[in-house]
Structure 1
Amino acid sequence: MFYLLKYYIQMKVLLRNSDLNEALSGFSNVGFVPTMGSLHKGHISLIKKSLNYCNKTVVSIFINPTQFNNKTDYKKYPRNLKKDLKILKKLKVNFVYTPIKNEVYRSKNKIKIHLSKKDKILCAKYRKGHFEGVIDVMCRLTNIVKPEKIFMGEKDFQQLILVKKYIENNFKSKVILCKTIRDKNKLALSSRNLLLKKGDQIKAGKIAKALISFKKKFFKRKITKKLIFTKKNELEKLYGVNIEYLELRNKKNLKLSNRINHSKIFLGYYLKNIRLIDNF
């Protein structure tokens, strides 16, 4: 008998690896959507894709402590399991995996994760150990769920590229890239947005709109470092934010670029004490 947090019609909520393995036994073409909870429309779009393309879908809710390089950030991360389960039930998700830390980290065998010098850019430059923690937990979760497809959003683009490389080199699973979902003000949806006051959410949306407009304006022109630097200073003064990085990089290899075509503008900044990232 499954050890369940609760049983819902058409949805099983599982806490232990053994119960998940038993539940998935005999099923093929399993889709997996890894989350840290506080679900929003971005997560929902990933889940719907998995439900459409896979025979069974597993959604995990696990706030992974090893990817937080700030203990306060970990404690403040939004949590609302009851609301999340209601959303997942309505979507008719097959399985929800909500493990405790010991279940995920039962095996102490780590895949050796070494970010190369070229990978220590953008968020990796400012969040020491973050991506090592993300890649490690994603490898552990993939090993537990054994999905055919993993659905991840492009908002955390650098994370997506790194995870895709490690997962597809070590497992039979394929990582599926899914578009960023934005609100009506163009702010990329994120669980961290719940930590922002309404006025700050509007301000973050204005920053997103400004960079979307910047990208359109210079689509066919060469982008110099000076132009990026000027835009960074302009945004900081106009919106009172602290920008860690504003860079134009190639979408495939994340090398610095001077052309909008085949590239993305990457942004990491603090709005008051909340760290936000985006790409355009």
Structure 2
Amino acid sequence: MFYLLNILIQMKILLNNHTLNSKLRPFDDIGFIPTMGGIHEGHLSLIKRSKKLCKKTLVSIFVNPKQFNNKKDFKTYPSNIKDDLKILRKIKGIDFVYIPKFKDIYNSKRKSIITIKKKDKILCAKFRKGHFEGVLDVMDRLTNLIKPNRIFMGKKDYQQLFLVKRFIENKYSTKIIGCKTIRNKNKLALSSRNYLLDKDDLVIAGKLSEEFSLLKRKIKNKKNINKFLTEEKRNIQKIFNVKIEYLELRNEKNLLLSNKSFQSKIFVSYYFKNIRFIDNF
């Protein structure tokens, strides 16, 4: 605890809601970057965007148990507050880091009444029961506590961005800003889960990303895109020994299934080394 409080004078560490409220009260132009820790360059790109657009920038670190449909996934999720703060203190312009406890977020007695409509139970929502209900619930609570002008989120979790943007902007005056996916030299999207892979596995994961990225170019000349993706799904699973949950082309505006490459994205979820990864191209 002493370490947290003395990391850097200008970057204030907020460990409870009382401190959060007192420190944020004077400000009315706050940029917010919600994270579950495992800070990487993708998070840092969101912070840089916030610094350009907002007077004050706040980063939260909270591993939300409500959005994990798998208890094992929650227990193995990479989390190291000390390492995260070492990274964050090197970035000038971060004003606040909010590190709440479970009771700070879920201190109200209200039960979650957030539901996902049947038409939205696609992609990750289809395979992770209760996941997005948990995401929307915690984002609702965080937005209500922090009252940011803008929230910055990456496009790697595109379905999450889509649902959060619609939900938050319909309820609050807060704007959700989607930011481009940051990738490593092997074209693998940066993710906290990457920390669970060794160097050799990261190379293979990068090759997988290249394969999925190539599909976007290939489908431009295909008459039956869905059939082509079904065949490619089978081939990639066999070659890389991975389990692909879904490999679909969807319209980037409404997430409906698409048969045209224009204004559409390929969405993929797969298990590699028993770790679940998602991406879009």
With normalisation by structure 2, the TM-score equals 0.95
Q: Does the Cα contact within 8 Å between 2:219 and 2:225 map onto a contact in 1?
A: no
Distance 2:224 2:208 in 1: 19
**Per-residue deviation at 1:197?**
2.2
- The answer for the alignment partner of 2:114 in structure 1 is 113
Distance 2:163 2:220 in 1: 27
Distance 2:91 2:150 in 1: 19
Distance 1:173 1:245 in 2: 32
Aligned length: 278
Amino acid at match of 1:6: L
Mean Cα deviation higher: 173-182 or 224-233: 224-233
Q: Does the Cα contact within 8 Å between 2:187 and 2:210 map onto a contact in 1?
A: yes
**Per-residue deviation at 1:217?**
2.7
Q: Does the Cα contact within 8 Å between 2:219 and 2:261 map onto a contact in 1?
A: yes
Q: Does the Cα contact within 8 Å between 1:223 and 1:259 map onto a contact in 2?
A: no
Distance 1:226 1:219 in 2: 13
Map 1:1-280 to 2 at 5 A. Answer: 5-7=4-6, 8-92=8-92, 93-110=94-111, 112-219=113-220, 221-280=222-281
Q: Which runs of 5+ in 2 are unaligned?
A: none
Amino acid at match of 1:63: V
Distance 2:169 2:140 in 1: 10
Distance 1:140 1:170 in 2: 12
Amino acid at match of 2:5: K
| Root-mean-square deviation over aligned CA pairs | 1.5
**Per-residue deviation at 1:194?**
0.7
Aligned to 1:203, what secondary structure does the other structure show? helix
**Per-residue deviation at 1:12?**
0.5
Amino acid at match of 1:239: F
Q: Does the Cα contact within 8 Å between 2:226 and 2:249 map onto a contact in 1?
A: no
Identity of aligned residues (%): 58
Distance 1:110 1:144 in 2: 17
Q: Does the Cα contact within 8 Å between 2:32 and 2:59 map onto a contact in 1?
A: yes
